[in-house]
């Protein structure tokens, strides 16, 4: 669930990408990197481990010259949190006057077996390696297709390419299933590309243009005024498989979600729809107050509250200075209890003496929810009951398409056998999940796509692509 950004034809490309990466910080918090190209056949690179504003400053951003660039927020699904694994990955082909530069930033994960020598642990290096066998006389978009035609998995990619003549190109593309999101914005006389539209909202004067279609490449070149769109014939008949977990949790509420008819809709609307569906599926559930697990479930709780006509109150306040616990899956950054105490504040006056309906978007391992419940009970000594409502189905299978979920056996619903086991683990009085059918119905109500247009593999086990990698097959067996 990394965040990728790109800029084509704007002088202050690096400073714009810094802002966009900051807006996409929720998609990856392990590290960030920016690469730019200027018109003098030069490349500029800067990146590091940590959060965006800890890495970049006015001085190092100012040193990244050029009007073309690509950037990346890393959330590791393949490879450790190591500076050598930061994207964009860069390579050179040829020598002297015949040298070309190729850089790529990747959101997603490749499911085909990774082969050959590599300098990093990231699966994306396989894509760069494939350029060795590509016909250099082809146009860049056809060369990219040649490098990708045998690659399986989820990939929203931004390529940065400088040809032998020194011309710069930015290529935005999505895999033919469209699993991971990618969209385009306009800014002044140039273009912006990002994983989510919230990246454009932070730039004054920028505006959303459109989504990159599944299986489409959009090519921006410094010798052309308008972008060129190319969709390989081999990619035109693939079944759409948009990630349903993007709709449930991953994408920011203020970002636009893709719609079948091109109408404007936002992830906040999808979240509300999920909450409403959850309320409809559970007519017997009642309580004094609806409380969201902030910030990811605020709109889910809003939808549930509206449908049930039970007041929603901010009983838990979240600090904005602590990263998402979901993307620190192995508690790499310290004791999770300490982190939760830093992250959440409980509003005693709202929680005391109440029957609470606690709404969250999902349960993966169940560890964060369990500790949150225990901390809340310890702080507020008298809570009548806690009903936990989850606005998605039980997560039963690992995601191999861009989200670093645990092995199958580590997922809460499998580890604790059933929903009753999970309820006991997280220590609530009642636990209800949204059904798979209800989740898809709620998403489609807003997006107007069909239910089979979405990947729900983490809930159903029906992966839209072939899983060949030995390490992934091993995860399914554990």
Of 303, 214, 211, 212, nearest to 253 by C-alpha is 303
Cα 301 from chain centroid (whole Å): 22
DSSP H helices in 309-354: 336-343, 348-351
Q: How many angstroms separate the CA atoms of 308 and 303, rounded?
A: 9
Q: How many angstroms separate the CA atoms of 150 and 126, rounded?
A: 11
Tokens 């798979």 — which residue?
Answer: 436
3-state secondary structure (DSSP) of residue 114? coil
3-state secondary structure (DSSP) of residue 149? coil
Terminal CA-CA length for the chain? 23
CA angle 442, 446, 449 (to 5 degrees): 90
The enclosing H or E element of 434 equals: none
170 burial type by CB count under 10 A (0-12 exposed, 13-18 middle, 19+ buried): buried
3-state secondary structure (DSSP) of residue 360? strand
The enclosing H or E element of 91 equals: strand 89-93
Of 396, 390, 398, nearest to 423 by C-alpha is 390
Q: How many angstroms separate the CA atoms of 8 and 221, rounded?
A: 7
Q: How many angstroms separate the CA atoms of 24 and 27, rounded?
A: 6
Q: How many angstroms separate the CA atoms of 48 and 444, rounded?
A: 39
Q: How many angstroms separate the CA atoms of 275 and 174, rounded?
A: 30
Tell me which residues are annotated as active site. Answer: 2
Q: Which distant-in-sequence residues (6+ apart) come within 8 Å of 310 by Cβ?
A: 286, 287, 288, 289, 290, 304, 357
């Amino acid at each position: 669930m990394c965040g990728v950004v790109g800029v084509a034809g704007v002088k202050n490309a690096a400073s714009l990408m810094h802002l966009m990466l900051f807006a996409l910080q929720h998609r990856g918090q392990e590290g960030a990197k920016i690469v730019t190209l200027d018109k003098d056949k030069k490349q500029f690179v800067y990146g590091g481990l940590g959060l965006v504003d800890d890495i970049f400053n006015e001085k190092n951003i100012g040193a990244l010259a050029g009007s073309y660039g690509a950037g990346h927020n890393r959330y590791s699904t393949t490879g450790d949190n190591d500076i050598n694994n930061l994207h964009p990955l860069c390579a050179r082909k040829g020598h002297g006057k015949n040298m070309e530069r190729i850089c790529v930033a990747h959101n997603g994960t490749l499911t085909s077996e990774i082969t050959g020598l590599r300098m990093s642990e990231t699966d994306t290096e396989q894509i760069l390696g494939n350029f060795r066998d590509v016909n250099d006389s082809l146009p860049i978009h056809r060369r990219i297709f040649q490098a990708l035609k045998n690659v399986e998995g989820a990939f929203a990619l931004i390529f940065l390419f400088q040809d032998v003549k020194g011309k710069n190109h930015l290529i935005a593309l999505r895999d033919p299933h469209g699993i991971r999101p990618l969209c385009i914005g306009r800014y002044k006389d140039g273009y912006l590309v990002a994983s989510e539209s919230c990246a454009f909202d932070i730039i004054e004067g920028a505006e959303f243009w459109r989504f990159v279609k599944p299986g489409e490449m959009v090519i921006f070149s410094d010798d052309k005024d308008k972008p060129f769109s190319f969709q390989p014939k081999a990619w035109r008949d693939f079944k759409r498989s948009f990630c349903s977990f993007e709709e449930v949790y991953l994408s920011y509420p203020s970002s636009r979600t893709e719609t079948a008819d091109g109408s404007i809709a936002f992830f906040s609307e999808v979240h509300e729809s999920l909450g409403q569906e959850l309320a409809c599926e559970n007519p017997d559930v009642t309580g004094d107050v609806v409380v969201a697990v902030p910030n990811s479930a605020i709109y889910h709780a809003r939808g549930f509250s509206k449908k049930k006509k039970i007041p929603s109150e901010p009983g838990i306040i979240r600090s904005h200075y602590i990263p998402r616990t979901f993307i620190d899956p192995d508690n790499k950054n310290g004791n999770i209890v300490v982190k939760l105490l830093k992250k959440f504040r409980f509003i005693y006056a709202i929680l005391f003496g109440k029957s609470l309906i606690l709404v969250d978007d999902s349960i993966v391992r169940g560890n964060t929810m369990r500790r949150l419940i225990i901390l809340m009970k310890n702080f507020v000594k008298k809570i009548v009951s806690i009903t936990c409502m989850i606005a998605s189905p039980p997560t039963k299978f690992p995601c191999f398409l861009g989200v670093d979920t645990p092995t199958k056996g580590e997922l809460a619903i499998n580890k604790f056998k059933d929903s009753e086991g999970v309820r006991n683990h997280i220590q609530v009085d009642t636990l209800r999940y949204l059904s798979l059918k209800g989740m898809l119905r709620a998403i489609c109500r807003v997006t107007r796509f069909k239910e089979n247009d979405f990947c729900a593999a983490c809930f159903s086990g029906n992966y839209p692509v072939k899983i060949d990698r030995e390490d992934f097959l091993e995860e399914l067996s554990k």
